[in-house]
Amino acid sequence: MYLTQSLHRSVQQAPESVSTICGDRIFTHAQTLERVSRLAGAMRNLGVRGGDRVAILALNSDRYFQLLSAVPWADAVVVPVNIRWSVKEIAYSLNETDTRLIFVDDAFAPLIPQLKEASPQLAAVIHSGDGPMPEGMLSFETLISESDPIPDAHRRGDSLAGIFYTGGTTGFPKGVMLSHRNIFASTLGNAALGAVTSQGRTLHAAPMFHLADLASLVGMSLLGGSHVFIPMFDPVATLAAVDTHGVTDIMLVPTMIQMVIDHPRRPEFDLSRVANIMYGASPMSESLLGRARDAFSSTKFIQAYGMTELSPVATSLVDEFHEDPILRRSLGRAAPHSLVKVVDPDGIEVPRGTVGEIVVSGDHVMLGYWNKPAETAAAIRDGWMHTGDGGYMNDQGFVFIADRIKDMIISGGENVYSIEVENSIVRHSSVAMCAVVAVPDEKWGERVHAVVQLIPGQSLTLAELQDHCKEEIAGYKIPRSLAVISELPMSAAGKILKRELRVQFQNTPA
């Protein structure tokens, strides 16, 4: 299977049905195919050939959607660029992949002069925004109107679909090579769990450069549905789009869900047509899950765990298990397309209930890291992707995260898994979100340090937090220091940037 296949089928079966809604623009499946084929023709005219890389640096839109089909249609490889990166980071990815063609919208057009200086191989820049076209760029709409359509290249399942750079939460990003088969294996596994509404309508609020949103996009396209776009996540814009356009499916991270359901304007909007909310990046706290179920009373919640290297899903926690007080803290079980086990440092599977490294195998495991054979060999061993996540599996196959292996805190010779401490902290009535990191300590080597974002109007002292945690976790796991901040640093994918917190609080006194 390949990424453009769903578009052909949708045009064959329902050409006049709605494909995309973006502001005032509405395109049918037939119109989308026409635009995609002309965009692909324009890329060919600009010198794009088989296997060439084409970058997209833009906010969410129907044009982004069209490009995700037009690039493989032109027999090329897509490089979605992280919208939160610096010019230096963007240039690194463009240079490493030898990208010569880039699409940018109004938000990122001002970066092009710097990018051209840092990436001199860039031969053409196409402006995909709605504002005035900057000097030296080509117009997205003009290219469509003036280019002839070309036949689909029909790239095959084992062909490279895209190079997706890791989020960079744990170090310098690497380009993850995913084939069309990789992406579809993950998509079909989610579809088998009923995580996508057939001929439904999905909202793209999470950033489209991120693989989690692409998985949502491919899944809804596979089932003949429609796509609604807002430029970037905003709680009111999300609520309004759900209400106005009858959205049935959304992919969000817990922090986004919290902002949506706790927004004072939320009661103004009808959320009853939402059938599925898929979330990832982290499990939801019990208090947040309860509020989310109240707000989306007709909705199934599905948690997906994975990583870019897994296209991206490895395990799924389906809706029914969210009612179990123990299982809802898990990552779920191996998705239908995935094999999962927990191993020791020698790669030997450990007994159930024993913490080790979570490893994954299947057709969704990446081809490798772009131009990094040593890193690829270290990550994929004997066909198993080593996630770097510590966890354990219970007797029923449910996987529980312990920690990123590199995030584990060793305090006084004891291993402390930060996620376990965080799960305790977020159950405090004053806490909205939290992160636990290691900071240097003269006595203990490392100390458990809690960084907390409070619910508006609430307060919290270290003594109050410690008293709360004493009821739930062992004494050596209890935070020995506390910082209350107004907003936790987040990646574009909605993950808390612990690396930044470790740097910020490394000199915190006991």
Segment 165-188 shows an average pLDDT of: 82
pLDDT of residue 172: 61
Instruction: Compare 359 and 195 and report the one with higher pLDDT.
Output: 359
Is residue 175 over pLDDT 50? yes
CA angle, corner 274, sides to 270 and 276, nearest 5? 155
CB atoms within 10 A of CB 413: 8
Instruction: Compare 90 and 443 and report the one with higher pLDDT.
Output: 90
Q: What is the mean pLDDT of the chain?
A: 92
The predicted model scores a pTM of 0.84
- The span from the CA of 110 to the CA of 221, in Å, is 33
CA–chain centroid gap for 262, Å, is: 22
Taking a C-beta distance cutoff of 8 angstroms, is the pair 263, 295 a contact?
no
Beta strand spans in 9-97 (E)? 18-22, 25-28, 53-57, 77-80
pLDDT of residue 446: 85
Q: What percent of the chain has pLDDT over 70?
A: 96
Taking a C-beta distance cutoff of 8 angstroms, is the pair 353, 311 a contact?
no
- The span from the CA of 73 to the CA of 54, in Å, is 12
Taking a C-beta distance cutoff of 8 angstroms, is the pair 229, 20 a contact?
yes
SS3 assignment, position 365: coil
What H or E segment, with its residue span, contains residue 483?
strand 481-484
pLDDT of residue 413: 63
pLDDT of residue 168: 44
pLDDT class for 494, splitting at 50, 70, 90? confident
Domain ranges, ordered by start, for the chain? 1-7+21-173, 409-504
Bridge partners of residue 176, in order along the sequence: 164, 369
pLDDT of residue 412: 65
CA angle, corner 497, sides to 296 and 183, nearest 5? 65
pLDDT in tens, 392-404: 999 999 999 886 6
pLDDT of residue 70: 98
Is residue 171 over pLDDT 70? no
Q: Do domains 1-7+21-173 and 409-504 have the same CATH topology?
A: no
**Pair of tokens at residue 50:** 């088989």
pLDDT class for 183, splitting at 50, 70, 90? very high
pLDDT of residue 300: 97
pLDDT of residue 170: 42
- The span from the CA of 42 to the CA of 72, in Å, is 13
CATH superfamily of 1-7+21-173: ANL, N-terminal domain (3.40.50.12780)
pLDDT in tens, 307-360: 999 999 999 999 999 999 899 989 999 999 999 999 999 999 999 999 999 999
* Domain 409-504 in CATH 3.10.400.10: no
pLDDT of residue 28: 98
Taking a C-beta distance cutoff of 8 angstroms, is the pair 386, 380 a contact?
yes
Taking a C-beta distance cutoff of 8 angstroms, is the pair 466, 478 a contact?
yes
pLDDT in tens, 453-483: 999 999 999 999 999 998 888 788 899 999 9
Q: Does 207 sit behind a cis peptide bond, omega within 30 degrees of 0 on the bond before it?
A: no
pLDDT class for 284, splitting at 50, 70, 90? confident
pLDDT class for 25, splitting at 50, 70, 90? very high
